[in-house]
């Protein structure tokens, strides 16, 4: 039970990280119609910037400075390159971000090298955030930090199980939730937020009312990239900071955006959590269709038709589950979970 | 392109379109003669790969250029075609199937068609950006599957085969590379002709209409989704031919052929060649093989160069190389190309200067990052650079700055000249219209 709880929390934290990425992607897409192919690359740049900065000024300032720097880079790219191809249509816009993802990957390899960076979390985020304790006698218990050994030791009276939840993952959840709240407040409570919301649905009308829509575009693109950079700082410190980190999340966030519904922030949130859980939970299930068939009383032997497919365990199949979900969603609900646009 | 020549029936002796016959004749001749000119084994491998790439890129352009469908997962269809072809080849070799080796690409084609029919049904439900994302997702799905099912995809080592299988026909065993090349050439010519013919059919025209104005197509009474679906399957069919030929050519198929990198390369080079014209992807395919084989040998930074070229191409020439050629052909048709030649030379010279300066700096950084152990010295275009020395950096920087300044000057001059030429051409066209 305690392990399951930890797994669910792991899934949720992975989902929240995905949301940090897909929220920026969705904002950019619904504002500008541009699918930012380099979004995951900005995520990676955020991690590398934070790594370098954390060695100079420490982790906590880097947490703020690195996303800002990534945001400025994004805005700069929008201003110099993306705006120029805007008049050619959506396909060149998508292609230029596609080309940028190549360039960023190569530059990162050039500056930081091919191996992974020793990006260690600061002391505060080392170790466990809390421990879930399960005992036969007292049920579930919770303790902040790593629980003392004597409390986890099984006694004659009760068998104890302790599972810890890493502090970095807890921090990931906190940052994502704070970001979610801040984004929601920004979009609903501020003037610029209202302009952005209006431009989501009626860009021409907003322009007609005298707002500088290109500048709003630049701002949105920059802040979207900044959010990706923030996710990168946390992703880098939690997982590994290496040149392949962009490709690992890259295609998943596109799945999130399609499953949630193109241009829907709420949809992106739901889909992120769903896919985060879908990626994490099956990893613990070492069962395949062969086991299911045996439970039903059928025997399947090697050499039978479809055996190679049936013997794949759920844990092995975990990487493809998000994509299967994508296909199913497209067949049964083409506009996505919470999407409103047909196209 | 025919509309450019309307009203000027030069080289057009009805019922024969002589210009077209000459072009196709030259294409066939080029396919036939190239291996006689470049005789080394290395050249032959490259030519074979080019033939395969031409089919794959043209098939991709049915989607991108003609249908306006930006696919990020095209390698799925070439790759799965390859896998089916190589399994069939192994069955032929085991004697379980009596099929001439020369028909293996047809098996690949059927494989490509089969998977395009299944996966395309989901993919073509949407157009535009959503289509692009779905193809990306499907590509990842197939790639992840390839790691999960080693029985079909061969795991890390891939699936190997021997193309010398079955009974030889007229002494052709497909053992020597030259025989495989000519098989590829025949398929390449036939597929190119068929795909060109497709652009002339009502379906091909409808596909263009779906790309340009889907709403209006719906009004006329066509189902845009079905047009996209059929085009997708045709593209899958020809991709499968390319995949089957690749299986014969390399005699080894690894999971890499369905990977995202391969898909990205198709997109990249079709765009570079120019998706707007039928012959654009052919240029792109030739460039693709040259870049992947030669450039990757020449420099470690080749992906960076490719990325930069791509981004600049999108920004300044979104029609690709073929559109640049067609623009200059138009200028030449009006006899105004000669005054521009000087500017072209100047542009090329200054661009080369920039390339030398920037290239030297990029190579020095790469050298410092990757070959530290070999010492700070490296060879670059015949000169020895010291990646740790001030002189090399200053020299490279100086060349770069001078190149950029000169390029900007010539570019301004050229832009002015080009604008003037275009205006003259417009006036000329108006004058001719008035004369009729």
pLDDT greater than 50 at residue B235: yes
Closest CA to B90 of B247, B241, B236, B256: B247
In tens, the pLDDT along B241-263 reads: 999 999 888 888 888 888 888 88
Arithmetic mean of pLDDT, A301-325: 75
Q: Could you tell me if B312 and B163 lie in one domain?
A: yes
- Report residue B271 as tokens: 């765009």
Read off the pLDDT of each residue in A195-209 and give the average, rounded to a whole number.
Answer: 80
Arithmetic mean of pLDDT over chain B? 83
Q: Are residues B388 and B307 part of one domain?
A: no
> Mean pLDDT score of chain A, rounded to an integer?
82
Q: Does the pLDDT of residue B215 top 80, yes or no?
A: yes
pLDDT for residue B67: 86
Q: A99 and B137 in contact by Cβ < 8 A?
A: no
CB-nearest partner of B137 from A35, A251, A308 = A251
Residues B305 and B343 in one domain: no
pLDDT score of B5: 43
Facing residue for A35 by CB, picked from B133, B301, B365: B133
Does residue B304 sit in the same domain as residue B346?
Answer: no
If DSSP states are collapsed to H, E and C, what string results for chain B?
A: CHHHHCCCCCCCECCECHHHHHHHHHHHHHHHHHHHHCCCHHHHHHHHHHHHHHHHHHHHHHHHHHCCCCCCCCHHHHHHHHHHHHHHHHHHHHCCCCCCHHHHHHHHHHHHHHHHHHHHHHHCCCCHHHHHHHHHHHHHHHHHHHHHCHHHHCCCCCEECCCCCCCCECCECCCCHHHHHHHHHHHHHHHHHHHHHHHHCHHHHHHHHHHHCHHHHHHHCCCHHHHHHHHHHHHHHHHHHHHHHHHHHHCEECHHHHCHHHHHHHHHHHHHHCCCCCCHHHHHHHHHHHHHHHHHHHCCCHHHHHHHHHHHHHHHCCCHHHHHHHHHHHHHHCCCCHHHHHHHHHHHHHHHHHHHHHHHHHHHHHHHHHCHHHCCEEEECCEEEECCCHHHHHHHHHHHHHHHHHHHHHHHHHHHHHHHHHHHHHHHHHHHHHHC
Q: Quick check: A160 pLDDT over 80?
A: no
Chain A residue with minimum CA distance to B212: A89
Res. A244 pLDDT band, cuts 50 70 90: confident
- Cβ-based interface (< 8 Å): residues of B facing A: 68, 70, 122, 125-130, 132-134, 136-141, 144-145, 148-149, 151-152, 260, 264, 267, 271, 301, 303-304, 306-308, 310-311, 314-315, 318, 362, 365-366, 369-370
Please give the residue of chain A at the shortest CA–CA distance from B71.
A91
Is B310 within a domain?
yes
Enumerate the residues of chain A whose CB falls inside 8 A of the CB of residue B68: 91
- B130 has a pLDDT exceeding 50: yes
Same domain, B379 and B415: yes
- Stated pTM of the model: 0.85
Residues B197 and B270 in one domain: yes
A47 pLDDT tier (thresholds 50, 70, 90): very high
Question: Residue A308: is its pLDDT beyond 70?
Answer: no
Is residue B150 located within the same domain as residue B188?
yes
Residues of chain B with C-beta less than 8 angstroms from the C-beta of A289:
none
pLDDT score for B339: 77
Domain boundary among B317, B345, B370: B317
> Which of A28, A34, A39, A320 is the best substitution to test chain B (most B C-beta atoms within 10 A)?
A320
| Gap from A96 CA to chain B (nearest CA, Å) | 6
Would B382 be classed as within a structural domain? yes
Indicate if the pLDDT at residue B100 is higher than 90.
no
Do B222 and B292 share a structural domain?
yes
Between A10-19, B38-47, B311-320, B330-339, the lowest mean confidence (pLDDT) is in B330-339
* B163 located within any domain: yes
CATH number at residue B171: 1.10.3470
Answer yes or no: do B141 and A327 touch at CB < 8 A. Answer: yes
The reply to whether B390 and B265 lie within a common domain is: no
Provide, rounded to the nearest whole percent, the portion of chain B with pLDDT above 70.
Answer: 93
Q: Is residue B3 part of a domain?
A: no
The token pair at B352 is: 């080369």
Cβ contacts of B133 on chain A, cutoff 8 Å: 35, 254-255, 257-258
Higher pLDDT: B164 or B215? It is B215
Q: What is the count of structural domains for chain B?
A: 2
Q: What are the tens digits of pLDDT across the range B16-60? A: 677 778 888 888 888 888 888 887 878 888 889 899 999 999 999
User: Is the predicted pLDDT of residue B70 greater than 60, yes or no?
Assistant: yes
ipTM: 0.81
- Report yes or no on B279 lying in a domain: yes
Average pLDDT, stretch B160-171? 73
B196 & B298 share domain: yes
**What is the rounded distance in angstroms from the CA atom of residue B64 to the CA atom of residue B58?**
10
pLDDT at residue B188 greater than cutoff 70: yes
Mean pLDDT on A67-91: 88
Q: Give how far B318 is from chain A: nearest CA, Å.
A: 7
Cα B188-B189-B191 angle, rounded to 5 deg? 65
Residues of A in contact with B141 (CB under 8 A): 320, 323-324, 326-327
Q: Where are the domains of chain A?
A: 2-121+168-284
- For residue A135, the cross-strand partners are A139, A160
CA-to-CA separations, B340 to B165, B320, B347, in angstroms, rounded = 56, 20, 11
CB-closest option in B68, B133, B303 to A102: B303
CA gap A290, A311 in Å, rounded: 6
Nearest Cα neighbor of B124 from B243, B262, B261, B223 is B223
Task: Answer whether residue B257 is part of any domain.
Answer: yes
Residues B376 and B245 in one domain: no
Q: CB of A258 within 8 A of CB of A336?
A: yes
More confident residue, B396 or A50: A50
Bigger pLDDT: B321 or A157? B321
* CA neighbor of A206 nearest in space, from A183, A36, A215, A264: A215
Instruction: Work out the pLDDT band at A67, boundaries 50, 70, 90.
Output: very high
| pLDDT for B213 beyond 60 | yes
| Domain residue limits at B130 | 38-317
- In terms of Cβ atoms closer than 10 Å to its own Cβ (0-12, 13-18, 19+), residue B49 is buried
Q: Are B127 and B70 members of one domain? A: yes
Helical pair A321-332 and A245-260, crossing angle rounded to 10 deg: 20
Tokens of B286: 């030739």
* DSSP summary character for residue A207: H
In B, minimum Cα distance to A113 occurs at B369
Last residue of one domain, picked from the residues B255, B288, B317: B317
């Amino acid at each position: 039970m305690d392990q399951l709880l930890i797994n669910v929390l792991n899934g949720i934290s992975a989902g929240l990280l995905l949301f940090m990425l897909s929220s920026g992607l969705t904002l950019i897409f619904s504002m500008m119609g541009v699918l930012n192919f380099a979004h995951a690359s900005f995520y990676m740049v955020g991690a590398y910037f934070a790594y370098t900065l954390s060695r100079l000024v420490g982790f906590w300032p880097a947490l703020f400075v690195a996303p800002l720097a990534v945001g400025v880079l994004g805005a700069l790219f929008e201003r110099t390159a993306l705006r120029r191809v805007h008049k050619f249509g959506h396909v060149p816009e998508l292609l230029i971000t596609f080309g940028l993802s190549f360039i960023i990957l190569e530059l990162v390899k050039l500056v930081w090298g091919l191996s992974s960076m020793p990006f260690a979390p600061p002391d505060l985020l080392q170790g466990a955030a809390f421990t879930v304790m399960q005992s036969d006698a007292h049920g579930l218990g919770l303790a902040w930090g790593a629980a003392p050994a004597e409390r986890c030791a099984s006694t004659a009276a009760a068998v104890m199980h302790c599972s810890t939840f890493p502090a970095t993952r807890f921090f990931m959840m906190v940052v994502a939730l704070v970001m979610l709240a801040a984004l929601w407040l920004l979009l609903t409570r501020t003037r610029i937020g209202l302009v952005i919301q209006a431009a989501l649905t009626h860009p021409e009308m907003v322009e007609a009312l005298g707002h500088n829509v290109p500048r709003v575009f630049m701002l949105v693109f920059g802040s979207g990239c900044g959010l990706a950079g923030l996710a990168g700082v946390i992703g880098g410190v939690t997982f590994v900071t290496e040149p392949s980190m962009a490709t690992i999340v890259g295609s998943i966030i596109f799945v999130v955006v399609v499953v949630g519904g193109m241009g829907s922030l709420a949809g992106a949130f739901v889909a992120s959590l769903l896919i985060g859980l879908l990626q994490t939970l099956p990893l613990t299930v070492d069962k395949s269709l062969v086991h299911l068939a045996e439970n039903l009383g059928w025997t399947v032997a090697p050499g039978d038709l479809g055996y190679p497919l049936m013997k794949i365990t759920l844990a092995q199949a975990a990487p493809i589950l998000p994509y299967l979900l994508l296909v199913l969603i497209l067949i049964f609900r083409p506009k996505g979970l919470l999407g409103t646009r047909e196209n | 392109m025919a509309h450019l020549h309307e009203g000027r029936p030069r080289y057009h002796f009805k019922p024969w379109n002589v210009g077209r016959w000459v072009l196709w004749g030259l294409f066939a001749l080029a396919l036939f003669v190239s291996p006689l000119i470049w005789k080394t084994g290395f050249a032959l491998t490259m030519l074979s790969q080019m033939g395969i790439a031409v089919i794959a890129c043209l098939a991709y352009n049915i989607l991108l250029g003609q249908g306006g469908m930006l696919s990020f997962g095209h390698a799925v269809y070439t790759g799965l075609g390859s896998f089916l072809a190589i399994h069939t080849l192994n069955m032929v070799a085991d004697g379980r199937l009596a099929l001439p080796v020369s028909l293996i690409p047809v098996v690949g084609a059927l494989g490509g068609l089969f998977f395009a029919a299944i996966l395309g049904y989901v993919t073509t439900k949407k157009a535009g950006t959503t289509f692009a994302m779905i193809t990306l997702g499907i590509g990842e799905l197939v790639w992840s599957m390839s790691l999960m099912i080693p029985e079909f995809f061969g795991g890390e080592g891939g699936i190997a085969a021997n193309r010398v299988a079955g009974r030889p026909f007229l002494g052709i065993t497909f053992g020597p590379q030259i025989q495989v090349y000519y098989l590829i050439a025949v398929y390449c010519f036939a597929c190119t002709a068929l795909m060109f013919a497709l652009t002339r059919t009502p379906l091909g025209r409808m596909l263009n209409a779906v790309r340009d104005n889907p709403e209006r197509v719906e009004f006329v009474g066509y189902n845009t989704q079905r047009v996209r679906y059929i085009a997708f399957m045709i593209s899958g069919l020809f991709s499968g031919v390319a995949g089957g030929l690749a299986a014969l050519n390399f005699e080894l198929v690894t999971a890499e052929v369905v990977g995202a990198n391969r898909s990205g390369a198709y997109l990249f080079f079709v765009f570079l060649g120019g998706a707007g014209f039928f012959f654009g992807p052919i240029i792109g395919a030739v460039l693709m093989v040259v870049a992947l084989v030669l450039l990757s040998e020449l420099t470690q930074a080749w992906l960076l160069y490719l990325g930069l070229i791509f981004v600049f191409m999108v920004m300044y020439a979104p029609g690709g190389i073929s559109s640049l050629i067609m623009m200059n052909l138009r200028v030449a048709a009006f006899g105004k190309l000669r005054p521009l030649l000087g500017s072209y030379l100047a542009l090329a010279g200054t661009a080369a200067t920039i390339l030398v300066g920037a290239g030297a700096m990029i190579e020095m950084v790469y050298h410092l990052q990757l070959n530290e152990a070999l010492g700070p010295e490296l060879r670059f275009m015949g000169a020895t650079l010291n990646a740790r020395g001030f002189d090399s950096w200053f020299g490279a920087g100086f060349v770069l700055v001078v190149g950029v300044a000169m390029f900007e000057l010539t570019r301004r001059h050229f832009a002015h000249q080009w604008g003037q030429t275009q205006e003259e051409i417009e006036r000329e066209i108006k004058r001719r219209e008035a004369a009729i």
